[in-house]
Amino acid sequence: MLKKLIGTVSLATILMAQGAMAQETINMWVRTGIGTAFTTLADSYNASHENQIQLTEVPFSELVQKYATAIAGGQAPDALSLDLIYTPSFAAAGQLEDLTDWVQALPYYNGLAPSHVALGTYEGRNYGLPLLVETSIFAWNKDLYAEAGLDPEKAPTSWDEIKANAEKIRALGGDKYGFYFSGGSCGGCMIFTFAPTIWGSGADILSEDGKTATLDTPQARAAVENYRFMVENDLIPAGAETDNGVNFMSFSNGNIGQQSIGAFGMGSIINDNPDLNFGVTLIPGSEGGVSSFAGGDNIVVTKGTPRLDAVKEFIEYAYSAEGQEVLAKSGALPSRLDIAEQTLASMDPRFQVAVDAIEVAKTPYTLLFNDLINSANSPWAIFTNAAIFGGDVDGAFAAAQSEMQSIIDNAP
């Protein structure tokens, strides 16, 4: 009897030990200031799962380089929240786990944010999946519209309307301006706000495969002329020319009539400037149509991690109705469009516009995003500043087109 009892206790001890050994702790890197939406999601997961996720914050400006260094040294985290624009580069280098078979078997795969899935795909395989979704949208100040004699409930649908409205708002005088954008060689700002005016009309700045610069088009020239109109007619504050993004959310000061912003900006206005009466709509194309920039983060998994199953469990939780609602309650956009209506139920109805933007949003697909677009010295950043504020539009187009193609052709 005693031997039988000892045997039972021993078996129970072994099973308990095996259960304890089965618990996994996922090490995941995120950028500093990722926001409460994702940290709240991680806390919710940890409170409801045996496996746990541990977040390590890394400064945004250092994240890509530190991850590359960690991979080379065999010290990389299991997973990473990575700006989606960098996903193709790490996938092409063979440093990310191929998630294709698993993710495409999920019943909601086709409902995931399309631009994030596209940027997470390399040679037809899935290496990155939408984690935090961001879009750009067009905002107008309803009180300034009313003060200028405009219908505050009527969203502008074309750049002719936007320009005409800007003139009426500027006529109010003083420090009230009709429009704003950060134009000080801020490539990231201008791909977010200005590029959609090109995309909306059916043109692009790069070919679909990222191997050809396609900047000089009638649609891009029309977009430049619309912005030049704002500059030449004193419809924007003078500081826009040198603003490198520090004053990107100038719309929130109440003296800007119209501006393209992001869903994150809308959330900050609602929380921090509740008296600002504003509306939002999709960004009009320069010659018709609408578009948006799809930004935010993909979740990627380091190739060879021994905790792949645990990471998959966390991703599935993030995509569950519960996980999506946790994100929504913290102001994040849904990454699953098939249940977006459900997850938006507790959010300000203006967020629906930002979600609508997901389906028309674009993100240039290139392994050279930083060199071509994002850095302050990129041909895109230099082009937007020179073409809009400078005196030689033709020269700005020619120089940018040539430099972009040269960078592509000479890439290793």
| Distance between CA atoms of residues 24 and 311, nearest Å | 9
Indicate the pLDDT class of residue 2, thresholds 50, 70 and 90: very low
Which burial class, exposed, middle or buried, applies to 334 when counting CB atoms under 10 A from its CB (0-12, 13-18, 19+)? buried
Least confident of 5-14, 36-45, 266-275, 387-396: 5-14
| Chain center to CA of 293 | 7
Cβ atoms < 10 Å from Cβ of 412: 3
User: Which H or E run contains 296?
Assistant: strand 290-301
Provide CB contacts within 8 A for 105, sequence distance 6+. none
Find the mean pLDDT for residues 365-373: 95
Token pair for residue 349?
């109805």
pLDDT score of 178 more than 60: yes
Find the mean pLDDT for residues 33-62: 93
pLDDT score of 35 more than 90: no
pLDDT score of 19 more than 80: no
Closest CA to 282 of 256, 263, 255: 263
Give the model's pLDDT for residue 8. Answer: 46
Q: What percent of the chain has pLDDT over 90?
A: 86
CB-based contact 242:234 (threshold 8 Å): no
Mapping DSSP to helix (H, G, I), strand (E, B) and coil, where does residue 263 land? helix
| Chain center to CA of 77 | 22
Give the model's pLDDT for residue 7. Answer: 46
pLDDT score of 29 more than 80: yes
Question: Model confidence over 78-129: pLDDT tens digits?
Answer: 999 999 999 999 999 999 999 999 999 999 999 999 999 999 999 999 999 9
Q: What is the CATH number of domain 135-293+366-409?
A: 3.40.190.10
Strand partners, 284: 290
CATH class (in words) of the domain with range 2-134+295-362: alpha beta
Report domain extents, the chain. Answer: 2-134+295-362, 135-293+366-409
Give the model's pLDDT for residue 197. Answer: 98
pLDDT score of 313 more than 90: yes
pLDDT score of 16 more than 80: no
Q: In Å, what is the CA distance from 61 to each residue of 32, 33, 64, 83, 184?
A: 9, 12, 7, 11, 19
Indicate the pLDDT class of residue 412, thresholds 50, 70 and 90: confident
Phi-psi region of 158 (alpha: psi -120 to 50; beta: other; left: phi over 0): beta
Mapping DSSP to helix (H, G, I), strand (E, B) and coil, where does residue 129 land? strand
Question: Model confidence over 252-295: pLDDT tens digits?
Answer: 999 999 999 999 899 889 888 999 999 999 999 999 999 999 99
Mapping DSSP to helix (H, G, I), strand (E, B) and coil, where does residue 299 land? strand
Token pair for residue 347?
């959010």
Question: Model confidence over 233-257: pLDDT tens digits?
Answer: 999 999 999 999 999 999 999 999 9
Show the DSSP H helices in 283-392 as ranges. 308-319, 321-329, 340-343, 351-358, 369, 379-389
Closest CA to 407 of 116, 160, 212: 212
Token pair for residue 387?
């073409």
Averaged pLDDT score across all residues of the chain: 93
Indicate the pLDDT class of residue 331, thresholds 50, 70 and 90: confident
Give the model's pLDDT for residue 284. Answer: 98
Give the model's pLDDT for residue 408. Answer: 98
Find the mean pLDDT for residues 391-410: 98
Give the model's pLDDT for residue 3. Answer: 44
| Distance between CA atoms of residues 129 and 363, nearest Å | 14
Find the mean pLDDT for residues 286-309: 97
Q: For every residue of 273-291, which 3-state class applies, written as one string?
A: CCCCCEEEECEECECECEE
